[in-house]
Amino acid sequence: MENRLAVAGPWRLWPDDVPATPAEPLAVRRREAELRRPVTRDVRCVLLRYADGTADLVVVAHRDRLDGPGLRHLTEVLTGERPPSPCPPPDVPRAETPPMAPAPDWGHGEPTATTHGSHHLDLPVPYVTTPASLRLPALALTLTRYDGHGSTGTATVGTDRTGALEYAVPASITLRDLATAEPTRVTRGVVAGILDEPEATPPLPVGTGAGPCERLPCLAPPFPLTFVFSPLPDGGTRLSCFFRAGHVSAAVAEGFTRHLGAVYRQSALAAGTAVADVELLDSDEQDRVARLGRPGAALASEPDTLPRAFARVAAATPDAVAVRDGEEELTYRELDERSARVAAGLRARGVRRGDRVGVCLERTAELVVTLLGVVRAGAAYVPTDPAYPVDRLAHTVSDAGLNVVVTRLAEFPRDGGVTLLRPDELADADGLWDVPGAAPDDPAYLIYTSGSTGRPKGVIVPHRNVVALIDATRDEYRLGPDDTWTLFHSAAFDFSVWEIWGCLLTGGRLVVVPYFVTRDPEDFRDLLLARQVTVLSQTPSAFSQLLQVDHARLPVRLVVFGGEPLDSRMLLPWFDRHPEHTCRMVNMFGITETTVHVTAQTVTRELALAGSRSVGPALPGWHLYVTDERGRLVPPGVTGEIRVGGAGVAAGYLDRPDLTAQRFVPDPYAQDPSARVYRSGDLGRLRPDGRLEHLGRIDSQVKIRGFRIELDEIRAVLLEDPAVAAAAVVVRRDDPADPATARLDAYVVPADGTAADPQGIRKRAAGILPEHMVPATVTPLDVLPLTTNGKLDPARLPVPVRSTASARPAPGPGGEGDIGLAEALREIWEAVLGTPVGLDDDFFELGGNSLFAVRVSAALRARGLPSLPLRDLYRTPTIRALTT
């Protein structure tokens, strides 16, 4: 039969006469015996001919050899519903088909597809008839681009004759060089291959009257993407793709086929083109992909400033509560009046439009008053955290050129003649001072982010960007005066920009969350209940702590995630208590340089169960591209660098023109020639539906003993373990000069009700990951440590303790209850800190921090002992002092 061309092993047909009718026991046993035969690489066909003249055809085949469409086609031919093909099958020698690689990570097989369903499509490549020698190199180059390697890399392709072949595709060679390169024969799996059809179409039997022979998609293709090149009567080539629906989606298969045709055509017509210059997308497709990244409508509102936007809200609801800090409340009228006095006080001390004013205050109502007062004075605020080291504060003062800093911190550095002002020094100024307003393009704030060189860099964000962010989200998330928000994050972390201005510009109530409460999930839960908070902004790491306590009665209707990647599976316990219609969970991808948020994806239980990595489409007014290393758009489903344009792009880095030019580049698809996009350094891919998947940092890969390793991949495997609620993986080197000491250390938070079993978790991971990716240690923790911004803090992960003889005292005869509080504390501290502890050792000098303190309290509660308030630990940080 013609479809044998897709089969590596032969078809075999045995006729067998059965001396019985179909219903007799002998015939039944004979059929059952055939169906019980082992499935091999061959296709076994037995024709059972019965005594009454009827017959059964029993076909036993591996699903890789005969799939559902093939069985249906065979049945239709046998029943007469479809005429048999007149084409005789050519006798083509076959090699053993190379092993099939796992599903490529390009944009997703169909969610409901099985791995053995197949489909096909055809694409003409006009006016190109080329020798077969160009086909595999063209496929290798296309595959390299799809694998996110840009213009260089290696690709494994194959045919059903030759097996698997690996091509090196360096950027410097031409298409002609690639076509003559000698591939290496390998044994690894193949994602895309070519089915070697004979060069000439076999002749039809005389008198059939049939048209040209066509290969029918009866059999499962030997590769996830299988291509057939056939000549056309007009001198062109027909490129057919047979693909497995469980490996790639129809949209991705169609795109790959089109791009392979483009590379194949360029190989024939422009063989001198450098591999790096080959274009996958023509101009029309570039326009389509560019539009795919801007799905939202443009913003209808005009550019505005924060003071003017706030003034409209204050005038509309002057008596509504604007800020609540403990028992202190400020109405919008009071916030307006107090911030006006701060603005007047700053103007009286020489602050003018365009200046920068430092603000170093704890999270309090006076912080909100001060920030609003600074922008009303026409200046930009430069927030720093009082917990920062003095050297970091001094660098900010120097780099930002600050002359005035509002702070209560007595240790704030005074170098360079900076003027330090306490908030109460500004409280008595005349609020009627004539203050000229800022313009929408004036800087609203300057926030510092860490740099790859260790030197923080200041990001300049204009007023119009912040107002645009609120306008882009107001209607979709029904933000308004009925909402209560939290100020959970430090003002030095740009998530606070969303919390403060998202609340105040929509008329909501802003509840200040004290630092100690942010680090105690039970206290935070109690605050959410007491203040009836409806809008909550969290990093995933911080929210994971809230999930560890009873959260059933929370009134929250909207949770916005940002700051770090979200593993949506962690939200399944939340969905058990909070139906989707009562609380909307939104995952937002964002960058400081593009004004906090860029995209938004509502996370459903269905997406969480699937472990979706989607961060959604761009917000209205924002747009994004995914590009290769040369800035060219890559096809949907292909990994590349995320570039962000539109209303949120910052003005650049303060006094860093070279870095600004490097990261803020012209937008080639914008109508405004001055428009720019920000090169994020993040990896992602644009789905065919316009949603973005965030895939980590470009520089997040590490190398250990020559192996390139993606830490997020290991973490994802750990999170698939039902016993693991949260996980982190880091690389440690006991001796930086000795590569042999490099190892992978994993940290896991056990799931609720699950006992910690590090060895069991490691054993499961070893069954999935290659040997070089299996963590050397697995350390269970109560919670993962966070930075002051709520992100995972790898520097505070305890050094793993190898299995050694325990130095802990054994329990007395009565068990745990006979161990004194001091001994229990010492055991807990040693377990948390990973180091021996004495009664007079200082918790913080041993490496403790507020997050470790939370673990200590949780461990005490787990033993039935009183929890340890954080304030007590800060005041008396030794075991002896705490227990006497």
Same domain, 507 and 520: no
> For 136-150, 251-265, 543-557, 855-869, which range has the lowest pLDDT when averaged over its residues?
855-869
Which of residues 647, 671, 694 is at a domain's end? 694
Same domain, 689 and 715: no
Same domain, 327 and 448: yes
* pLDDT band (50, 70, 90) for residue 385: very high
- For the segment 468-473, the average pLDDT, to the nearest whole number, is 97
Same domain, 576 and 686: no
pLDDT value at residue 250: 82
- For the segment 673-689, the average pLDDT, to the nearest whole number, is 93
State what percent of residues in the chain have pLDDT above 90. 42
Alpha carbons 558 and 858: distance in angstroms, whole number: 28
- For the segment 411-433, the average pLDDT, to the nearest whole number, is 86
CATH assignment at residue 427:
3.40.50.12780
- Residue 764 counted as domain residue: yes
- Residue 374 counted as domain residue: yes
Residue 860's CB is within 10 A of a number of other CB atoms, namely: 17
Sign of CA dihedral 666, 670, 671, 674: negative
Same domain, 388 and 441: yes
CATH assignment at residue 858:
1.10.1200.10
pLDDT value at residue 84: 65
Same domain, 729 and 677: no
CATH assignment at residue 222:
3.30.559.30
> For 71-80, 163-172, 276-285, which range has the lowest pLDDT when averaged over its residues?
71-80
pLDDT value at residue 204: 38
pLDDT value at residue 656: 95
Across 46-60, 221-235, 239-253, 800-814, the highest mean pLDDT is recorded for 46-60
- For the segment 732-736, the average pLDDT, to the nearest whole number, is 68
Whether 603 and 612 have beta carbons less than 8 Å apart is answered as yes
What is 280-332 written as a DSSP string?
A: SS-HHHHHHHHHHT--SPPP-SPP--HHHHHHHHHHH-TTSEEEEETTEEEEH
CATH assignment at residue 769:
3.30.300.30
Q: What is the mean pLDDT of the chain?
A: 83
CATH assignment at residue 566:
3.40.50.980
Assess whether pLDDT exceeds 70 at residue 492: yes
Question: Residue 382: helix, strand or coil by DSSP?
Answer: strand
256 versus 321: the higher-pLDDT residue is: 321
What is 785-853 written as a DSSP string?
A: -B-TTSSB-GGGSPPPPPS----SPPPBTTBGGGS-HHHHHHHHHHHHHSS---TT--TTTTT--HHHH
* pLDDT band (50, 70, 90) for residue 817: very low
Total number of domains constituting the chain: 7
Q: How far is CA 547 from the centre of its chain?
A: 21
- For the segment 652-670, the average pLDDT, to the nearest whole number, is 96
- Edge-first strand listing for the sheet containing 184-186: 118-125, 237-244, 225-231, 192-194, 153-159, 163-169, 184-186
Query: How many CA atoms are closer than 13 Å to the CA of 386, on its beta-carbon side?
Result: 13
> For 61-70, 330-339, 599-608, 642-651, which range has the lowest pLDDT when averaged over its residues?
61-70
Tell me how many degrees the CA angle 275-101-155 measures, rounded to the nearest 5: 15
Assess whether pLDDT exceeds 70 at residue 497: yes
Same domain, 725 and 704: yes
- Residue 386 counted as domain residue: yes
pLDDT value at residue 292: 95
Query: What are 261-272's pLDDT values in tens digits?
Result: 889 888 888 888
Same domain, 738 and 674: no
* pLDDT band (50, 70, 90) for residue 14: confident
pLDDT value at residue 199: 44
Query: What are 849-871's pLDDT values in tens digits?
Result: 565 677 788 788 788 887 777 77
Which of residues 646, 670, 694 is at a domain's end? 694
The alpha-carbon radius of gyration of the chain (Å, integer) is: 33
The structure tokens 């299995």 sit at 803
Q: Which domain holds residue 679?
A: 617-694
Assess whether pLDDT exceeds 80 at residue 291: yes
Assess whether pLDDT exceeds 90 at residue 182: no
* pLDDT band (50, 70, 90) for residue 216: very low
847 versus 500: the higher-pLDDT residue is: 500
Which of residues 480, 512, 544 is at a domain's end? 512
- Residue 878 counted as domain residue: yes
CA distances from 225 to 100, 158, 188 (A): 10, 11, 16
Assess whether pLDDT exceeds 70 at residue 788: no
- For the segment 461-465, the average pLDDT, to the nearest whole number, is 98
pLDDT value at residue 92: 40
Same domain, 601 and 622: no
CA distances from 850 to 352, 369, 479, 747, 855 (A): 39, 28, 33, 18, 9
pLDDT value at residue 58: 85
Tokens of 688: 């065919």
Phi/psi for 57 (5° steps) reads -105, 115
Same domain, 728 and 766: yes
Assess whether pLDDT exceeds 90 at residue 89: no
Alpha carbons 343 and 330: distance in angstroms, whole number: 17
> For 390-394, 440-444, 459-463, 643-647, which range has the lowest pLDDT when averaged over its residues?
390-394
Same domain, 624 and 571: no
* pLDDT band (50, 70, 90) for residue 845: low
* pLDDT band (50, 70, 90) for residue 91: very low
Residue 309's CB is within 10 A of a number of other CB atoms, namely: 19
Query: What are 103-123's pLDDT values in tens digits?
Result: 676 754 444 344 445 666 777
